Amino acid sequence: MIRITRIMAKLFPLWLVILFYFSRLARSSPLAPALYVFGDSLFDSGNNNLLPTLAKADYLPYGVNFDQGVTGRFTNGKTVADFIADYLGLPNPPPYLSIRGSAAVTGLNYASGSCGILPETGSQYGKCLNMKDQIDLFEITTTYNTSELRRYFKNPQDFSHYLSKSIFIFSVGNNDYINNYLERQFSIRKNYSPRSFAQLLVDELAQHFQRLYKLGARKVIMFELGPLGCLPSITRKRNHGTKCVEEINQLASYFNERLPPMLNNLTSTLQGSTFVLGHANWLAYDAIQNPTKYALMDARNPCCTTWLNGTSGCIPFLTPCDGTNNHFFWDAYHLTESACSVIASGCFNDSSVCSPFIKQLVEI
């Protein structure tokens, strides 16, 4: 009896550690079972690393904020999707193309830089995953009879419940303008006015959302296009200096103003669904016009040294600007981690950015 007591005494600290671990798990259980990410380079976490394309962020200074260095994200650190995963208590969804064998039950990232809603968008840079490709891959992920995920669930009903409680986020459409409509080599501008092109994109996107619903998604967040006319790649090419090119911003507005009726219609017609609009445009524009309001100092210039006088991607291995946390733009197209944090925090906590905001959405 004495010997057993001594053994238990030696093990007592271990039991404390185990109890602490499980109590911590209980307190920090995720708000949603999984986060699934779709879209373009604003959300890409490394899929383009594994594709034959010129649109890559597989070198420093991209990823400079990460201890492990380069990840394939087109920024210095976390994206909006990464911050949302943090807020949900989930690990960052790994890029789908990096998965070998067992899929991640806490979510996956299908986003691909340079691609968009239309299949031809981004094709001038090589292969990328357009919206149809991404939904195709999600279907492979979630076909119950063949999915690696099914081992986590007792039956198809439990799997369907898991999908219905998961969060799906999208940032797509930016490249359909930057890498398509505004590019001279594409003839689409001859066939579509700005308004009819915006309607084409929204109609195509609605079909993809309907397909996603059939595959099990119920809680979907679609972020607006940002103020494209404020991108350094646009302002510097148009010789507008530090001013936004408002006619380009208007193109994005034609798309954004068509999103609410489309998303509301899907919510009302697809039973049990909630399609949320992320009002990223006004938030980003306000941060660009009033940076100090968001603890930023520079909301006009790229932080990294880029090709072509600040109008392109980062030049490999050059040291970025001092005070990266004070910049809005990382390169000529993408946001810094600090700017991403502002948008993600707004969507998670503020009904003026996302309504319902994510903390409300997870309770539906």
Strand partners for 39: 171
Q: Would you call 223 helix, strand, or coil by DSSP?
A: strand
Active site residue 58: no
Positive or negative, the CA dihedral 333, 80, 36, 225 is: negative
Q: What one-character DSSP code corresponds to residue 33?
A: S
Selected catalytic residue, list 45, 253, 334, 341:
334
Q: In what order do the strands lie in the sheet with 274-278?
A: 35-39, 167-171, 219-223, 274-278
What phi, psi does 36 have (nearest 5°)? -110, 130
Q: Would you call 130 helix, strand, or coil by DSSP?
A: coil
Q: What is the token pair recorded at 309?
A: 């006088």
Q: What one-character DSSP code corresponds to residue 180?
A: I
DSSP class per residue in 273-336? -EEEEE-HHHHHHHHHH-GGGGT-SBSSS-SS-BSTTTTSSBPTT----S-GGGBSBSSSS-B-
Selected catalytic residue, list 114, 273, 331, 338:
331
Angle at 279 between CA 341 and CA 332, to 5 degrees: 55
Active site residue 41: yes
Q: What one-character DSSP code corresponds to residue 146?
A: T
Task: Give the total residue count for the chain.
Answer: 364
Selected catalytic residue, list 41, 45, 114, 273:
41
Report d(CA 131, CA 230) in Å as an integer: 25
Active site residue 298: no
Is 127 within 8 Å of 56 (Cβ atoms)? Answer: no
Report d(CA 190, CA 184) in Å as an integer: 10
Is 23 within 8 Å of 47 (Cβ atoms)? Answer: no
Residues with catalytic function: 41, 331, 334
